[in-house]
């Protein structure tokens, strides 16, 4: 059987999809383990302006990943984080991080962790978007950074909010299934949706201090603080929709 690739589209949009080539009935018990990779990509049209906005770089700092077992898997039941009959694997899977993801190519997958996971069915994925503590990084004290151009003028957006992302697969048929060595979990951040002019219009962003860069942040000197707050709120609203 061909090794499945599991795609989780945990995006800044209102939908989430899991694609897998194996069904629940194909899964083995968690007394076995398999190597799996976690990866991420950003979807944006590098090299093609949309509504006069061109994105060239996206960075995000994430941490505290958790995969939660489906406690009804193979007829078992139990509360979160208890011994629910999974052989030697008694707790949900946690990866602390942080993981600083830097995307400069549209749709290119960046693997950021390789782990051995129990062969099992998982019903929930959680992680946090958080400020970077890496003093040598351009993301220092920021959680998200986006670079590009607006009407050919360089712009830079950043924010330092912190937010938990929880993706709960209420339908067991769409759970994450780890079955074979080489399975992967992929997070896709959809920026094309965010910077659609009908969602967020950047055309009125200004370079008030005349330094040649349109800065959009909670404390920029270009007069774009309100716009930065709008972008941040839109991201958080979209995350809330994923959580529902």
Tell me whether strands 6-8 and 99-103 are parallel, antiparallel or unpaired: unpaired
Q: What is the pLDDT of residues 207-231, one digit of tens each?
A: 999 999 999 999 999 999 999 999 9
What is d(CA 201, CA 31) in angstroms, rounded to the nearest whole number?
A: 51
Residue scoring higher pLDDT (217 or 118): 217
For residue 11, is pLDDT > 70? Answer: no
pLDDT confidence bin for 15, thresholds 50/70/90 = very low
How many Cα atoms within 13 Å fall on the side-chain side of residue 67? Answer: 23
Q: What is the pLDDT of residues 89-102, one digit of tens each?
A: 446 778 888 999 99
Q: What is the pLDDT of residues 22-71, one digit of tens each?
A: 333 333 344 588 888 888 888 887 666 767 888 899 999 999 988 888 76
pTM of the model: 0.77
Contact 178, 136 (CB under 8 A): no
Chain-centroid distance of CA 142 in Å reads 16
H helix or E strand, kind and range, residue 240: helix 225-243
How many Cα atoms within 13 Å fall on the side-chain side of residue 59? Answer: 21
Q: Which residue has the tokens 């503590």?
A: 133
List CB contacts of 71: < 8 A, sequence separation 6 or more: 77, 78, 79, 80, 84, 123
Question: How would you classify residue 106: left for phi > 0, otherwise alpha for psi between -120 and 50, otherwise beta?
Answer: beta
Q: Find the angle CA(106)-CA(124)-CA(63) to the nearest 5 degrees.
A: 55
């Amino acid at each position: 059987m061909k090794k499945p690739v599991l795609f989780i589209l945990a995006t800044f949009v209102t939908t989430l999809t899991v694609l897998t080539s194996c069904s629940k009935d194909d899964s083995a018990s968690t007394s076995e383990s398999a190597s799996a990779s976690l990866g991420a990509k950003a979807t944006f049209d590098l090299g093609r302006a949309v509504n006069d906005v061109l994105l060239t770089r996206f960075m995000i700092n994430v941490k505290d990943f958790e995969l939660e077992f489906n406690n009804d898997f193979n007829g078992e039941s139990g509360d979160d984080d208890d011994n629910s009959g999974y052989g030697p694997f008694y707790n949900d899977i946690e990866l602390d991080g942080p993981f600083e993801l830097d995307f400069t190519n549209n749709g290119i997958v960046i693997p950021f962790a390789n782990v051995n996971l129990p062969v099992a069915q998982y019903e929930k994925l959680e992680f946090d978007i958080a400020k970077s503590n890496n003093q040598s990084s351009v993301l220092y004290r920021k959680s998200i950074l986006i670079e590009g151009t607006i009407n050919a003028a360089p712009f830079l957006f950043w924010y330092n909010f912190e937010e938990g992302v929880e993706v709960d697969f209420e339908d067991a048929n769409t759970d994450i299934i780890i079955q074979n060595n080489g399975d992967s979990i992929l997070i896709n951040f959809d920026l094309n949706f965010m910077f659609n002019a009908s969602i967020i219009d950047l055309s009125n962003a200004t370079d008030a201090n005349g330094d040649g860069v349109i800065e959009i942040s909670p404390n920029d000197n270009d007069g774009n603080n309100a716009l930065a707050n709008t972008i941040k709120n839109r991201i958080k609203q979209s995350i809330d929709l994923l959580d529902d």
